[in-house]
A and B are shown apart, each in its own frame.
Chain A
């Protein structure tokens, strides 16, 4: 063999770290393989395969947008998959599931380390990977929910012949093929996978943004990030064009199906393609958001670079050794700790009380547990209090009406105001009709339709007593719209008839 020249040798070494980081992805699976477990019959359990199943399980849930998946769900899934093959009871499955999850996400909180010798730079390096992450947790049942992290997603894709870098484009290609063949069901799934891709891209951009914020400290890092951003931008652009074409294609398919006269056969297909086009629009919209985000990142990077003129970063720093080691190792006087902690704290502030506060707006709440007898109260204050009491009384009344309404809507899904008023008589609530507030209630509902529970900040800036009333709705949404006729109540009031029904929460599809 002829001797390779220097360039060729360098070529083989380039991007060594990147390649190793791909190898590192598989490390946890092989760690699982080394674990020896057996079922009740003494048959060995193949942990590595279960590890991959676990990843696929979490991937599937990511596709379905199910964020609440914990150890128990995984155990159940593994049990169902292995039915008839392994004899393991559910409690042991839970134990195994916990074991597997801990390999992917070490319980100590340390990231998974993978160290190797980098032949390109000629030094040892360590790569940190994070396969699973905590997604949320439920403090009531003390359950931890997990989701695939970036590297986990990469690992799932890595087991499918292509890397996530080209994932989206490949999905787009597959989708097109499926549409051409008329496999609409499969196409829908394909779109879901695309959505996961776009979401993971979004997450990566956010991470990148934080990274840029923290670590652009020199010309060199700026160059690195700029190149990265260029690449991302080019990629997004390409994908965006592809999306446009796809959209056009779906549109054409849609018109073709619509024009087709063979109605019965095409009806289901038409419905599916409608959903596809709908979902595609959504993914596309999210994807276009990424383009914008990318531009912003570029600006950020430029700012940071400009700032870096004022700043020189260290090449390596180890808080544990350089700071903690120093303080505890010598040891230094106790005050040193206060000094070291200072940057993490806020600035101390003088808190003083000014006499002028007396003339500031006063916030007094009467009647709520604490009775404040005020004989010589100012006129304004008195007014405010009576206002407040009125609001309280009215709030309580509204609660009663809402309770009855919810009760009625449990029986029927839809009710007209006219019917409701008639039912009120049966419940012995006829006297409500004499109160002005009763009519106000409907006007408020109508004006606010669709009515749902108020968010936190809305609660803060209005204290009409309505928040509790709307709180009764829980997760439901109440839709109020007017319908024909005017309700004569037999009192001095009359009101436009309305239709009341539950709306659907998501409004999806």
Chain B
């Protein structure tokens, strides 16, 4: 089919898109442009898809949400390391941070009974305990097995596990568990500051973190949407190289 858009329509869509790309969201006033005109809407959605993003509408804001996948348009590892971690940070630090964030969100959404978060906040030490549990589970894989994956598929889980294991819970010689001292709590503090800066978490007490509306919105409107959710699971199962290696049918893996 041959579409022809008016120049005005394209520009309007582009203006919306560029604002989304700049801030990640657009407020009420511009929202009308998106909702009212299906052509504009279609164009903005297409623009977003081109950079591996989805556009999500709430009743008074429009959000641009990067899709779950590896994409050159998303923030690069290097940028993340330089901006948010210590200058001596290596990839293992960064992945440990990602892991901490996943554990953090998982701590709030851990029930099939409720679509709402099951907790109001999480203290840093509780977070650290949950991290520890995950690491312990990972350690249950035989080391040789992990190592063999490493050689074959470049998994570096053991480096991440080691990173966590070699840190003390707290550094007893320093007063404040923040900043550059190397301990689990100070590491989580670094992640915390990242979350605060990205407006993914808010501080409700000394060391107590809660989710922001933005995070809840992302989980409920993106992770819990049927289509997107299928995409997420697809992405994850496709990464399971072992299954592919074993020649298993992919279709089965997707359909849980």
Contacts and interface: CB of A to CB of B under 8 A. Distances in A.
B60 A334 contact: no
A313 B224 contact: yes
A331 B133 CA distance: 15
Contacts of B179: none
Contact of B114 (A107, A128, A323, A326): A128
A295 interface: no
Interface string B134-150: 10011001000000000
Interface in A286-317: 299-301, 303-304, 306-307, 310-314, 316-317
B98 interface: yes
Contacts of A128: 114, 116, 118
A214 B108 CA distance: 16
Contacts of A323: 102, 106, 223, 232, 236
Interface string A326-356: 1111111111111111111111110000000
B59 A213 contact: yes
Interface in B80-101: 91, 95, 98-99, 101
A328 B224 CA distance: 20
B interface, size bucket: 35 or more
Given A144-B206, A331-B141, A214 B217 contact: yes
A316 B137 CA distance: 25
Contact of B68 (A213, A311, A316, A340): A340
Interface string A116-139: 000000000110101001100101
B110 A321 contact: yes
Given A109-B121, A144-B205, A334-B95, A342 B21 contact: no
Contact of B206 (A137, A301, A324): A137
Contact of B110 (A314, A320, A343, A346): A320
A212 interface: yes
Interface stretch (B4-12, B154-162, B164-172, B180-188): B154-162
B154 A333 contact: yes
A151 B230 CA distance: 36
Contact of A134 (B109, B204, B235): B204
Interface string B109-126: 111111110111111001
Interface in B206-237: 206, 208, 210, 213, 215-227, 229, 232-233, 235-236
Contact of A347 (B24, B138, B198, B241): B24
Interface string B184-208: 0000000000000010100011101
Interface residues of A, number: 67
Nearest to A299: B59
A320 B74 contact: no
B107 interface: yes
A339 B121 CA distance: 25
B73 interface: yes
Nearest to B54: A343
A348 B78 CA distance: 11
A317 B98 contact: no
A312 B227 contact: yes
Contacts of A310: 57
A312 B229 CA distance: 10
A105 to B, nearest CB: 8
B108 A347 contact: no
B103 interface: yes
Contacts of A338: 70, 74, 77, 95, 98
A72 to B, nearest CB: 15
B240 interface: yes
A109 B98 contact: no
Contacts of B225: 311-314
A142 interface: yes
A325 to B, nearest CB: 8
A210 B119 CA distance: 17
A76 interface: no
Contacts of A330: 240, 242
Nearest to B98: A337
Given A128-B114, A318-B112, A319-B108, A303 B59 contact: yes
Contacts of B219: 319
Contacts of B40: none
Interface in A198-229: 210, 212-215
Contacts of A126: 111, 113-114
A108 interface: yes
B67 interface: yes
B64 interface: yes
B60 A336 contact: no
B208 to A, nearest CB: 7
A134 B208 contact: yes
Contacts of A306: 35
A111 interface: yes
A214 B220 contact: yes
A307 to B, nearest CB: 5
Contacts of B77: 338
Interface string A33-72: 0000000000000000000000000000000000000000
A110 interface: yes
B138 A335 contact: no
A122 to B, nearest CB: 15
Nearest to A212: B59
Interface of B: 21, 24, 35, 51, 53, 57-60, 64-77, 79, 91, 95, 98-99, 101-103, 105-116, 118-123, 126, 134, 137-138, 141, 153-157, 160, 198, 200, 204-206, 208, 210, 213, 215-227, 229, 232-233, 235-236, 239-242
Given A110-B119, A346-B75, 19 more contacts: A105-B120, A133-B120, A137-B205, A210-B213, A212-B59, A312-B225, A313-B224, A318-B109, A319-B223, A320-B107, A324-B102, A328-B134, A333-B154, A334-B91, A338-B74, A338-B77, A344-B200, A346-B24, A347-B64
Interface of A: 105, 107-111, 113, 125-126, 128, 130, 133-134, 137, 139, 142, 144, 210, 212-215, 299-301, 303-304, 306-307, 310-314, 316-324, 326-349
16 contacts: A109-B119, A109-B122, A109-B210, A134-B208, A303-B59, A306-B35, A313-B220, A316-B112, A324-B103, A328-B138, A331-B141, A331-B155, A339-B236, A339-B239, A347-B51, A348-B79
The 5 A-B pairs with the shortest beta carbon distances in the complex, nearest first, are A320-B110, A319-B109, A320-B106, A337-B98, A300-B59
